[in-house]
Amino acid sequence: MAPLLARFAQLHPGLRLQLDLRETPWPDRHDSDAVIHIGAVRDSSWIARTLASNTRWLCASPAYLRQRGTPAVPRDLLEHACICIRENDEDVTLWRLRRAGTRRRASARESVRVVPAYTSNDGSVARAWAEQGLGLVLRSEWDAADAVARGVLVRVLVDWEFDSAPVTLLVPSRRGRTARVQALMQFLEEALGSGKQDQVPARRARPPG
């Protein structure tokens, strides 16, 4: 998001931009104009607008795969070094996935509880560790695509789709929305290609069960 926000600042030089980064969910704050959240929005009274679905890829370096082998099915992950990213109070060791093209078949879903060999609260650090051959990492497509194109990382389990971590913009109610927030919303929608997404109030998610 930082490069996008830099572009936004260049388009609006009269605005003062403050970016606060947190690894835990940002509570509804009166001193915040907007919140960009990655992952499921569990509890917010603000309006949630999905900006991107955020497909995720499981990747590893060629050197790691030569040494440890390439996982063929989800349960093979239990025998591998996994790199987990701690963010937003998510259960980062539970990886959920389904066979590609089988969205309506519950039997095609699988969940694997990995044992992380390495954990960080910074995605770029986790990706760098994977590039250096330390293990498998689950990263957003937009973050891993360049490394995959250069051959630094290799996608694995390509016949499986991992649960996405949508990029969501949280903004105050329409009545309290300022012109600068409206401008940010429009910019991010155009930049991330989701201008047709509906706005819905974020709700508290039901507990799993």
Residue 176, domain CATH? 3.40.190.10
Query: Quick one: 38 and 87 in the same domain?
Result: no
Inside any domain, residue 208: no
Question: Is-contact 103 159, C-beta < 8 A?
Answer: no
Query: Quick one: 36 and 69 in the same domain?
Result: no
Roughly what angle, to the nearest 10 degrees, separates helices 2-11 and 179-192? 130
- Domain containing 83 equals 58-162
Q: Is the pLDDT of residue 203 over 50?
A: no
Give the CATH number, domain containing residue 114. Answer: 3.40.190.290
Tokens found for residue 48: 């949630």
How many structural domains is the chain composed of? 2
Question: Is-contact 172 47, C-beta < 8 A?
Answer: yes
Query: Quick one: 66 and 153 in the same domain?
Result: yes
Query: Quick one: 84 and 156 in the same domain?
Result: yes
pTM above 0.85, yes or no: no
Query: Quick one: 82 and 146 in the same domain?
Result: yes
Q: Is the pLDDT of residue 198 over 60?
A: no
Q: Is the pLDDT of residue 34 over 60?
A: yes
Q: Is the pLDDT of residue 195 over 90?
A: no
Query: Quick one: 30 and 62 in the same domain?
Result: no
